[in-house]
Structure formats: structure tokens, C-alpha cells
Amino acid sequence: MDISDFYDTFFEEAEELLADMERLLLDLDVDDPDGEDLNAIFRAAHSIKGGAGTFGFTVLQETTHLLENLLDHTRRGELKLRRDIVDTFLETKDMLHDQLDAYRNGGEPDAEAFERISRVLQQMALDELGQGEAVKTTTKPEPAPAPETGDSAQAGAGAGAERDEEGASAPRRLAITLTGVSDKDRELLVEELQHFGTINSQSGDVARYRVLLDSSESQDDIEAVLCFIIEPEQLSIEVEATAAGDGPAAPPAVPTIPAVTAVEEKASLAVEASPEANKDGPKSGAASPRSSGKSSGKNAKGSESSTIRVPVDKVDQIINLVGELIITQSMLEQTASDLDIVSHGPLVNGMNLLQRNARDLQESVMSIRMMPMDYVFSRFPRLVRDLAAKLGKDVELVTEGKSTELDKSLIERIIDPLTHLVRNSLDHGLESPDKREATGKSPTGRLTLSAQHQGGNILIEVIDDGAGLNRERILAKARSNGLAVTDSMSDDDVWQLIFAPGFSTAEQVSDVSGRGVGMDVVKRNIQEMGGHVEILSKPGQGTTTRIVLPLTLAILDGMSIRCGSETFLLPLNAVLESLQPQSDDIYSMAGDDQLLKVRDEYLPIIALHHALDVTDAKTELTEAIAVIVQGEGRRYALLVDDLVGQQQVVVKNLETNYRKVPGISAATILGDGSVALILDIADLHRLDRRKSQQRHEAKHQHLQEVSLA
């Protein structure tokens, strides 16, 4: 088996370890760092180094080795932390991420960047510890030192422990037990073990396979590599009493287990393979990559893996198949609804049971794609920390609702818009410490990221306690940009002006923001995800930017409506109410525009038959039904012929299967097999306005031609 088959597993788990490393570094108190956190950061680096060495990712291995040495001195109390040292560790973490991406894409890491970060780390070792270390250019272990005796052996015990952890100690015999490993995986594991030393013997079966290995490598490194292929609970590594070749015992100066602090030994993941393996002796305290640098806090004996890695395309395939199953079930349900329940009772009951099971299956499958918002929020502590330091501001970041779940396809697309909103709040929203103190505020600004479910949507908010938006400045900038504005505009309409292309009220352009590029892209990206953006702001108190998104784009709760002989669907979360228009509530504006008065609010009227050229529809406004809908933060009165009912449908991408259609967001297949289009409210309004303008221009041109004639 080609070891490259396990590259993806290594890349994914190394990414998790780097994310944990960054989170722990950001949370460190430099004056009084937590020992458990320091050990966890060290273990993360150690696991990445071991895996990188096995897969031949030399640059990644050597960079991690330099970082690991400094982290080891830090956890032992020999290197005192400062903010600039933590910054260097974070910079190294970023470099490791870049190197990982390079290997993932089949390339080699940037050599100049590698040399630079190596010099920085070596210089830190020289300045802080009075020692330097040349960058290793090989993954082979260094020759073991000659055995020491007497007092010199005792004096060198600590150094020997360090050499053992780095993989250069005297050979000793390791008993490696594999439990529940298939023949195919076992062959690969045994092949990998040959790189660590000499295999003395091997025997057993799938239930329990035992390998005796004579090796000078540390148990930590061996376990880190093997656990990229199997689970930690399937592995047990113990030290035999004799050295390689059944000779005399190893010199006492060289320890038989990796040198770790008492705290780390207690926190390390306990690996037990089976009751039989437990009888053979003590277990290694090494942490595996699958522990993600965290201690489990309990014995792993008898435990089962709680997760399984599945490619996203397989999940998508299952979701598509379930969608087709739901459509088929809807067709059968519609057919069964016409049957006589007395003569076809068992069939009707079976159809009802099928409907319930199909809905449960649909919800279960959809939940597989759901991910917690912590996946997004965890990216911002580093961003806020670095950007606040760059801007000279003190900022406290608060996250709420990290466990709130959102569809994977949406959660990845929301990262960039949120990043821009956070940068905007830090640069424009929060004031400098001096200005905040002058207004009676705490010098430390507060930025809150929150997420919560609201009906069938998720509500994501970016809240700052800064100066708030300046209405007069926004209106002045809008006029200078040629936008049609009035002093009587509501605050909500004024705040929406900042989403206009090229709009910025920044007094000067910086490398953070100020060019007027981004907010329009934020709004457009969120609209493409079926959501909208709202802004709430109070002068001197702060600004809240609210994003409302559907939980998933695969399933839609919709309201079926009819216009002429056509059936359309409205997203249920866009429908507010429906009513019968009265002639007294209809007002004509300039041109062909009309407004419907609903409880002292004047709403633009969208005639669906006019916007989509539907024939045989009701054209009299008082005969139609007005559905009050919301799109992009505005309300409209959509005129339709009839309301059919509410139903849950499977969304089909129209652009993928056909092309982009104005006023339409997607399509679905109804129970009778017909295709129904799903309406895009805001785009439908724009389409209706364009057609009204074209009709007005055509009428004006016709009148001119008549007058000339």
C-alpha cells in the first residue's frame, strides 16, 4: 500500500493540531501560563513533527523541530514568556500552515520563508537561552552517544532524556501490540515500523498482533506516526527489559520512556489495546495526533471512535438521493390522496408511515452537513488580537452561540463577509482608548460575535460598543457620490447606503480599510446565500450588523402560490401575511408605479403576472391576493391569483441545470412531477421595475411617433 494514501488524514489532523495550537497560544497568560496548556502546545508540535518526518515533509518537520525545542524549554520554565515571544510562536504557526498547504497542493514550501523563520527561531534560542542549533537537513536519527558510567551517567540523565525525546537514544526493545487491525493495514504498519529500527519477531492475528522492535526512536514518535493510520486505542507500546539482540540491559543513563514532566504524564492520552495487552506492563504516556493536543481525562480502554471521516462528496450524494426519495414519496402521496381510505386502508396507512420515515431520514441526513459556528468564530481571536495591536486599540472579543449549527456549504461562504465586518468594526466602529475615556467609556472596546437560531433561519450578529454610525456624514458622502437621498430618509434606509459600491466615510485610506471596497461585496455574497443584512446603530453606543441566513440551501419550507395556470413557490421565511387589496388603499405614483397602504405603511406593488409575463392571470388589483413579503430588508406587496398551501421542497439549482433566470432563485419538483420555480423577492422587484420602465419608455416613444404623424 502506498503511504501517500494517508496524506489527506495527516493534512486534516495537522490542521486541527495547528488550530488548537493557535487557540491555546492566544489564551496564554504570559505572566502565569497554565502548565497543561503549555504541554498541550508542545504535544501538538511534537505530533506534527513525527507525522511530517514519516511522510517525508522535511521542511515542515525541521521547522516544527525548531519550534518544538523552544516550546519544550518554555514548558520546563527555562524560557520566560513575553508577548513578543508568543507573537513569534504564532508567526511560526502561520508558517507551518503555509508549508502544510504547499505539501497538500503537491509543491514545496517557500525556501526563503523557511530560512527566515529558522533564523528567527534560532536567534531566539541564542538570545533567550544562550544556545543555538543548526537547522537539521535530514530526518535520520543522530548517532547515539557512548554509554556513560558512574557519576557522569547520573549527571547526564537529564540530557539523555532530552536526546531520547528527540529520537537519539540507545537501542532498546519495544513490544508493540496491534488490536483489531486488518491484514491490509497491518502490512502497512509493519512496513513503517521497519523505518524505526529492526523487527525482531512478529506474531498473532487480527484480534491481537505483537511486534518486537529494536529501536533507538522514542515511543512518542512511533506512536505519533502509527496513529495517523489506526486509532490510539488499537495500539499499545511497551519497553522490554532487554536491549536489542537479547544482550545486556540498556545503560541506566538512557531512560526507557520519553522524558516528560509529571504534569504531562498525567494529562497524556492513556492508550490501552485490550485486557490482554494490559497485563504485559505499563503503557506509554505519549499523546497521539488524534488527541489534537488535548488530554482525554479518562482511560481509553474499551472506548470506540466517536467520529468517522467521510468525504463531503459522499455526503452530498446521499443528500441528493434522499432528495429524490422525498420527491418520489410526494408523488406517491398525491396519488394515494385520491384513493378511498375504506377500500385502500392499508395502502393509505403505509403511505402515511412512509411520509413520516422519509421526513425523519431527510432531517437526519441534513444534520450530517451541519457544523457549529465555532468553526467560524475560532478564526477571529487571532485576527482581532493582531489588528487591534496594529490600530493601537484595546479590544475584548466575546463570542456567543458557538454551538449553533449551520450548513457546511454556507458556513464556509460566510467566513469572508464576517471577516470584513469584523475588520470594519475594529477600524471604524471602535474608538481609540483615549477617545473612549474622554466620553466616559472603558478604554477597552468590546466586540461581540453571536449566532442563534430564529425559526428556519440563523441570526449572526457583529456588535461593537463604539461610536456608532454618523447619519449626517453618510448622507453627505452619498450626495457627493451622486446617490438619490433625502433628509427625511429613515435611519434604516440611511444605514443601507454604506452597502453602495465604492462607499466609504473613512477620512484616510489605510491598509485595513477606507477604499470603499467590500461592503457591497458583503451584501451581494449574503444575498446569494439567500439571506439579507440589517444594520442597527445608535450614536455613541455602537453598531450591530445582523445577518439572517437560511439554515440550509438544500431544503426549503415554501408557500405555494398560483398565478394564471402556473405554480410558484415563495420561501416561507419571506412571507409575512396576505390580504385582499381594497381600491381605497391603492395609490398611483409617477409613471406606472403603484403603492399599497398596509397599516400606515406604503409598500411597492409587484404584479407577478407582469414581472414574469404570465398569461391568463388576474389583472385587476382588487381581485388578486396581496402577499406581503420581505426581501433585502424591504417589504413588498406581491399580487398573485391564489394561495395553494405550505410545503417542504427539495431545492434544485437552476443555474447548474439550466441558466440564471431573472426573478428566480431556484426550482423544485412538485408531487405531480411538474417543475415549480422558487421566487427571488428582491430580484423580482428589480425585474418588475425594469419592465415598467421599458413599458413607460415604449409608450412615450409611441406618443411621440403619433404626434409626428
Give the closest residue to 265 by CA, choosing from 254, 273, 257. 257
Which superfamily, per CATH, for 555-696?
CheA-289, Domain 4 (2.40.50.180)
Spell out the residues 6+ positions from residue 656 whose beta carbon is closer than 8 angstroms to its own: none
Strand partners, 13: none
| 239-241-247 Cα angle (round to 5) | 120
> Rounded to an integer, what distance in angstroms lies between the CA atom of residue 218 and that of residue 256?
9
* Backbone phi, psi, residue 449, to 5°: -110, 125
Mean of the per-residue pLDDT values of the chain: 78
Are 57 and 3 in contact by the 8 Å Cβ rule? The answer is no
What pLDDT shows up at residue 132? 55
Q: Is the dihedral of CA 633, 635, 640, 642 positive or negative?
A: positive
What sign for the dihedral angle of Cα 597, 602, 604, 608? negative
| pLDDT tier, 169 (very low <50, low <70, confident <90, very high otherwise) | low
Could you tell me which residues are beta bridge partners of residue 631?
634
Give the list of residues 6+ apart from residue 545 with CB closer than 8 angstroms, or none: 421, 425, 461, 462, 463, 533, 534, 535
4 pLDDT band, cuts 50/70/90, is low
- In the chain, how long is the greatest CA-to-CA distance? 121
Classify domain 372-550 at the CATH superfamily level: Histidine kinase-like ATPase, C-terminal domain (3.30.565.10)
Classify domain 167-291 at the CATH topology level.
Alpha-Beta Plaits (3.30.70)
**3-129 topology per CATH:** Four Helix Bundle (Hemerythrin (Met), subunit A) (1.20.120)
Strand partners, 328: none
Confidence of residue 161 (pLDDT cuts 50, 70, 90): very low
Query: Averaged over 544-564, what is the pLDDT?
Result: 86
User: Over 80: is that where the pLDDT of 166 sits?
Assistant: no
Q: In this structure, are residues 264 and 285 in contact, taking their beta carbons and an 8 Å threshold? A: yes
Separation CA 428–CA 408 (nearest Å): 31
Say if residues 311 and 9 touch (Cβ distance below 8 Å): no
Is 301's pLDDT higher than 70?
A: no
Q: What is the pLDDT of residue 570?
A: 92
Cell numbers for 485: 437621498
Q: Please determine, for residue 442, whether its predicted confidence score (pLDDT) is greater than 90.
A: yes
Work out the pLDDT band at 296, boundaries 50, 70, 90.
very low
How many residues does the structure list for the chain? Answer: 709
Rounded CA-CA distance 357/352 in Å is 9
Q: Sheet holding 625-631: strands in order across?
A: 575-579, 625-631, 634-640, 601-607, 594-598, 586-588
For residue range 477-535, list pLDDT tens digits in order: 888 888 878 888 888 888 888 888 777 665 554 555 544 446 888 888 888 887 888 89
Please determine, for residue 253, whether its predicted confidence score (pLDDT) is greater than 80: no
In the prediction, which pLDDT does 395 show?
93
What mean pLDDT do residues 175-201 have? 83
- The pLDDT-based confidence of 243 (bands split at 50, 70, 90) is very low
pLDDT at res. 507: 56
What are the sequence ranges of the domains in the chain? 3-129, 167-291, 312-369, 372-550, 555-696
**Contact assessment for residue 527 and residue 534, using Cβ atoms and an 8 Å cutoff:** no
Task: Inform me whether the pLDDT recorded for 164 exceeds 80.
Answer: no
Outline where 380-502 has alpha helix (H): 380-391, 408-413, 415-424, 433-438, 471-480, 491-496
User: For 600, which DSSP code?
Assistant: T
User: What does R_g of the chain's alpha carbons equal in angstroms?
Assistant: 33
pLDDT per residue as tens digits for the range 446-469: 999 999 987 667 899 999 999 999
Q: pLDDT exceeding 70 applies to what percent of the chain?
A: 81
- The larger pLDDT score, comparing residue 172 to residue 258, is at 172
By the 8 A CB rule, do 414 and 376 touch?
A: yes
What's the whole-number mean pLDDT along residues 414-440? 91
